[in-house]
Amino acid sequence: MAFQVISEWRTKFIQEAAMAIRTVTVIGAGVLGIQIALQTARHGFDVIAQDISDEALAKAREALDAIAAQMQADLKLGTMTSPPPARARLSLTTDLAQAVANADLVIEAVPENPQIKRDLYARLAPLMKDGAILATNSSTLLPSELAGATAQPDCFLALHFANHIWRHNIAEIMGHPGTDPAVRDEVQAFAKAIGMVPIVLEKEQPGYVLNSLLVPFLQAAAALLVDGVTAPQDVDKVWRIATGAPLGPFQIYDIVGLNTAWHISSAGGPKAQEFARLLKRDFLDKGKLGVASGAGFYTYS
């Protein structure tokens, strides 16, 4: 009975804590950032998506149209008509100060480069209001590696989403030793409020759960390519046919983004660094970034 009372109290606390988050800003309107923004707006939150240039925002608007259509089809929504409409709740801007001034939660989804993230946090320090939560969507970096660059480390944690957020609706929540437990609970409630299944990690883990499983798999595929074993498309074909998986590793690389793959591989061992050099020479230097640019290991129309 006591356990049930405590459980009910904790559930009530989490639900009430979520009410503190009204306005959300997503910094980085790339492939995943714009998905996070739309998913959040669809569930009734006011959202601002910010990126560094008008060109980036133009690409984000194109992506938004495609993602909204795909989301509608996958979820059989018909039209996205939650009152007021999701798109009406979502705005885009290049103005960082304007974007975060009133945000209760800021989700950072910029490239997987620790210095880029730290520089951003330094810029955010005088712009965010006291008590606002800052969450990184980093796929590989630990929050304790970044917390010192923030103005309020106790309000900082990691909130990691998978691609195609509305279908693969896992939200991994990972604090660092200085994260306020109430902040973690509030973010857990927020994740649930936007249709996610929140998974709270009790300790820091590089790559969370998802990437602790996924990254070694992708690295094994990269080694096959670097060693000249067979073509990327054939690696994917073997994996799809043999396991029934919908995507092979190089298709996943294209979705994740080859720039992200390059950043991660550049910090790895000899084989990973060789893969990073291949990515730069054969793809990045030619403007092939994966799905986001229309070409990577595959070509996308």
CA 195 vs. chain centroid, Å, equals: 15
Pick the closest to residue 68 from 60, 56, 80, 76 (CA basis): 80
* pLDDT at residue 79 in the model: 52
* pLDDT at residue 19 in the model: 56
**3-state SS class at 10:** helix
* pLDDT at residue 31 in the model: 84
* pLDDT at residue 37 in the model: 97
> Consecutive 10-residue runs of the chain (301 residues): their mean pLDDT?
41 50 96 94 95 95 88 72 68 98 98 95 97 94 97 98 93 98 97 97 94 93 98 98 97 93 91 97 97 94 79
Residue 189 has a CB neighbour count (10 Å cut-off) of 20
Taking CB atoms within 8 Å and a gap of at least 24, the contacts of 126-132 are 126/151, 127/96, 127/97, 127/100, 127/101, 128/100, 128/103, 128/152, 129/101, 129/102, 129/103, 131/155, 132/100, 132/103, 132/104, 132/105, 132/106
